[in-house]
Amino acid sequence: MGERIETAGLADCWWQALSDAMDLPISDEPGRLLLRDLVIDLLAALDAEPFDATIGSHVGAALADARLGDDRVPAISARVLADLVGNSVSPDATIRFAVLVTALGQGYQRREHALRTGRTDPTGHDAGLHRDARFRVLFDSPIVAVAFGDLDGNILDANPALAEMIGTSVEELRGISVYDFAHPDDRADISTLLYEHLVPAREGSVTLRHRLLRADGTVGRAAFVVTYIRGTGRQPDYLGAVGAEITEWFDLEDDLHRQARHDPLTGLPNRRYLLEQITSMSTANASETDRVGICFADIDHFKDINDRYGHDTGDKVLTAVASGLRDLEREFDCFIARLGGDEFVALIAPPADTDRVGLIAHRLSSVVSIPITVNDHRLNVSVSIGAAVTPVAGVTAETLLRTADSSLHEAKARGGGRWIVHTPSTSSR
């Protein structure tokens, strides 16, 4: 019910903005109902998979069919409908909105031309459709970057939103190449999309998501939809682009990716991240002789520490152990993770052998097996370690962990505070 109220409220604002700007040929209630339906269609289009920009054209045509008959309709609509972005769940909502509003303006102009002249142009290349009609509706928008360029990628015109995104002025943008603000490592991909797909076809659109090189040298992320536009009369063909900066979304995605793969207490990679690393190693181009190693460490008598001193002390012991393991990670270039509880793992990438894994197990034991002072308590901590070395080709995470865990149980059974390395044929201390 809450979403319906928001939809109705936005439609009412849209109707009011149109009413304030012009005399409307339809009465209040039918007009508001029409706009509510159109708002619902646009919001659905923002979140739909796959994305369908033609919904914007249909909305524009519906506005023209209502006989509003004023060139200001698309621009007014774009300003009001910008609030749709906040209602969308799509991470691409801003760029999708820009494309939908561009299509809205195009659909409105096409239908208006047809109603005026009685002629339609199914190809979309009607002489009345020029870049102002298709894209100028977005030029005043502060949330959408707009640019026109020639077929060589040189900017002919741009709006203030693009200039602000890059950190320069509109005047300085005119005449420069789009590659001047694209990250050097992304330029080849941009060229491929534009000059092997879009320009040769002389129609359609492509979506670019690439790093943005700002005027001050900092790097962001941007998404653009670039459309091929055929010129009319003596006007040459050109490219129109609408886009938005999506750096915050990428940062959020990176942050969520990290949170999902790291332990919140120690900051070490978690079980999920470890399993991904093992799977990646096993599916890589490894030879039959390549070996992977693993050390499975468990803090001895950790439950006694929690029971005697409390979980706060136990947590500080875990973070102290994790700090020591980070030093080990830097020393041996291995992958350290916390599985949960008091269990830690060191994953040793190929080439691994019994000597190397045994050395890492020994160092792991010595790094941890030192007195730790926590909350005025001096605690003698030790670990038991079960290690394994096995061919990496085709190994599964479950098998590798199970083998190391078996060695860990053996080390525990021998009194703890020791390490055991298991290979397919031998075990050693």
- Which of residues 259, 290, 314 is at a domain's end? 259
pLDDT over 70 at 224, yes or no? yes
- Least-confidence region, from 129-143, 229-243, 253-267, 297-311: 129-143
pLDDT over 80 at 70, yes or no? no
- pLDDT at position 141, please? 64
The percentage of residues in the chain with a pLDDT greater than 90, rounded to a whole number, is: 28
User: Which tokens in the block code for residue 249?
Assistant: 């979304």
Q: What is the pTM of this model?
A: 0.50
Distance of alpha carbon 223 from alpha carbon 109, whole angstroms: 26
pLDDT over 50 at 127, yes or no? no
pLDDT tens readout for residues 9-41: 888 999 999 998 888 888 888 888 999 999 999
pLDDT band at residue 250 under the 50/70/90 scheme: low
- Least-confidence region, from 79-83, 118-122, 139-143, 222-226: 118-122
- pLDDT at position 142, please? 66
- pLDDT at position 241, please? 87
- In single-letter form, the type of residue at position 418 comes to R
Q: Are residues 204 and 249 in the same domain?
A: yes
Q: Are residues 167 and 306 in the same domain?
A: no
Q: For the chain, how many structural domains are there in total?
A: 3
Distance of alpha carbon 101 from alpha carbon 244, whole angstroms: 14
* Residue 1 CB burial class (10 angstroms; 0-12, 13-18, ≥19): exposed
Q: Are residues 119 and 162 in the same domain?
A: no
Nearest to 404 by CA among 293, 276, 268, 283: 293
pLDDT tens readout for residues 150-196: 999 999 989 898 999 999 999 999 999 999 999 999 999 999 999 99
Q: Are residues 1 and 125 in the same domain?
A: yes
Q: Are residues 255 and 271 in the same domain?
A: no
- Which of residues 259, 280, 312 is at a domain's end? 259
Does residue 138 or residue 334 have the better pLDDT? 334
pLDDT over 60 at 120, yes or no? no
pLDDT over 50 at 339, yes or no? yes
Nearest to 291 by CA among 357, 201, 336: 357
- pLDDT at position 296, please? 93
pLDDT over 80 at 425, yes or no? no
Does residue 116 or residue 324 have the better pLDDT? 324
The percentage of residues in the chain with a pLDDT greater than 70, rounded to a whole number, is: 88
pLDDT band at residue 119 under the 50/70/90 scheme: low
Does residue 102 or residue 379 have the better pLDDT? 379
- Which of residues 122, 141, 160 is at a domain's end? 141
Q: Are residues 201 and 86 in the same domain?
A: no
- pLDDT at position 131, please? 45
pLDDT over 50 at 303, yes or no? yes
Does residue 288 or residue 145 have the better pLDDT? 145
What's the whole-number average pLDDT of the chain? Answer: 83
Q: Are residues 221 and 335 in the same domain?
A: no
Distance of alpha carbon 229 from alpha carbon 236, whole angstroms: 9
Q: Which domain holds residue 151?
A: 144-259
Instruction: Write out the chain in H/E/C secondary structure.
Output: CHHHHHHHHHHHHHHHHHHHHCCCCCCHHHHHHHHHHHHHHHHHHHHCCCCCCHHHHHHHHHHHHCCCCCCCHHHHHHHHHCCHHHHCCCCCHHHHHHHHHHHHHHHHHHHHHHHHHCCCCCCCCCCCCCHHHHHHHHCCCCCCEEEEECCCCEEEEECHHHHHHHCCCHHHHCCCEHHHHECHHHHHHHHHHHHHHHHHHCCCEEEEEEEEECCCCCEEEEEEEEEEECCCCCCCCEEEEEEEECHHHHHHHHHHHHHHHECCCCCCECHHHHHHHHHHHHHCCCCCCCEEEEEEEEECCHHHHHHHHCHHHHHHHHHHHHHHHHHHHHHHCCEEEEEECCEEEEEECCCCCHHHHHHHHHHHHHHHCCEEEECCEEEECCEEEEEEEEECCCCCHHHHHHHHHHHHHHHHHCCCCCEEEECCCCEEC
Q: Are residues 60 and 108 in the same domain?
A: yes
Q: Are residues 39 and 117 in the same domain?
A: yes
Q: Are residues 137 and 152 in the same domain?
A: no
Query: Taking phi first (over 0 means left), then psi (-120 to 50 degrees means alpha), and beta for anything else, what does residue 89 get?
Result: alpha
CATH of the domain at 225: 3.30.450.20
pLDDT band at residue 137 under the 50/70/90 scheme: low
Distance of alpha carbon 405 from alpha carbon 296, whole angstroms: 7
Does residue 288 or residue 154 have the better pLDDT? 154
CATH of the domain at 338: 3.30.70.270
Q: Are residues 172 and 202 in the same domain?
A: yes
Q: Are residues 11 and 85 in the same domain?
A: yes
- pLDDT at position 2, please? 39
